[in-house]
Amino acid sequence: MSDSNSAGNGVGGAGGQERPPGGERRRFPDISSRAYEHPADRSALVALRRLSGFDTVFKALSGLLPERSLRLLYLSDSVRVGEQQFGHLHTLLLDACYVLDMPKVPAMYVTQDPQPSAMCIGLDEPIIVVTTGLVELLDEEEMRAVIGHEVGHALSGHAVYRTILLFLTNVALKVAWIPLGNIAVMAIVTALREWFRKSELSADRAGLLVGQDLRASMRGLMKIAGGNHLHEMNVDAFLAQADEYEKGGDLRDSVLKIMNMLPRSHPFTTVRAAELKKWSESRDHQRILDGHYPRRAEDKDASVSDSFRESAGHYAESVRSSKDPLMGLVRDIAGGAGDLGGRLRDTFAGRRPSPPKNGQEPKNGPDEPGPGPGRTTGPDDSPLP
């Protein structure tokens, strides 16, 4: 594998650094985040990127946001990752930035918190924060996927747009006293959370592109769900939970699933694992590994309408393929409505009813009497005397 397309020994590529040590993995020069973004995430980001100056205005107003305070907080009360502190995490960060050809390596901090977690925040320059709980929980390859996940957030601009929209949401909350204002705000918040959840699926894909080890990504997700008891867990059984969660229960369970999901910013862990495995087996993932992916230089020409059509198509396919009882009901209702609409259209257009299927007796239309006693039909199905 050539040096231009694989991450091997040395440090280089991202931010003018040399390549970090690590296993032989493919590198993706000038890769656009559109290559790995979930369709629903990508459509929103493409639209926002086309709003020239939108993020620039909010970056200029960053003093109104808590970003400065957060930077000072982590600088003063956390450990900044570098060659002299958490050197192994520094190496993994450089490697992730090299593989995704990140223009600038973001700052990274380790903060004391037993809860395993990581995040990418900031408007002007994104920073990555990981907790001690996560560092102690994951092995090197699992952590590589997590850091790749956060670098994916940074490359997509999620930190910028999340902060912008959260700021707008906070402004909207201040006018929630307006009649029906709270309902409108909750609709915005619900939509934002749905986007956040899809952006997490995007970042999981970025983590897989960086680590290029599906097993490590799966192990990391299982540990986040079940702790450091990997010898007690099984990937296939874990994925079976996701399948049972999707198709199990009745309509009451479907409603409870929605209620449980609405307040969350992240998808459920088993769902993330199933989604990532599905994407890893997709043609889109293989094309990226083969070097066929959109470039950042083409981002300005990305079509908003095409992105929204792809997003709509994804949701439609999700409904069609879902095993959830509620989605099945939606399909049945949609199919019934389509059948009813087709019959009404045929009636008013004077068309004949659909031919019988599987040897069934033909069904008469609303205004089409069948042949009476002593009557027969001709080749054109019109009554003959």
**Cα–Cα distance measured from residue 336 to residue 316, given in angstroms and rounded to the nearest whole number:** 16
Concerning whether 244 is annotated as a catalytic residue, the answer is no
Residues in the chain: 385
**What single string gives the DSSP state of each residue in 81-108?**
-SSSSSHHHHHHHHHHHHHTT-SSPPEE
Residue 289: CB atoms within 10 Å: 13
Please report, as a single letter, which amino acid is at residue 215: R
Question: Is 284 strand, coil or helix?
Answer: helix
Contact 363, 369 (CB under 8 A): no
**Cα–Cα distance measured from residue 371 to residue 383, given in angstroms and rounded to the nearest whole number:** 7
The candidate with the shortest Cα–Cα distance to 275, out of 328, 330, 208, is: 208
Return the axis-axis angle of helices 325-349 and 304-321, rounded to nearest 10°: 110
Contact 145, 138 (CB under 8 A): no
Choose, from 37, 141, 150, 275, the residue flagged as catalytic: 150
Exposure b/e, 327-343, CB count within 10 A at least 16 = b? beeeeeeeeeeeeeeeb
Alpha helices in 178-268 (DSSP H): 181-211, 214-226, 235-247, 251-261
DSSP H or E stretch at residue 154:
helix 140-156
**Cα–Cα distance measured from residue 245 to residue 248, given in angstroms and rounded to the nearest whole number:** 6
Catalytic positions are: 150
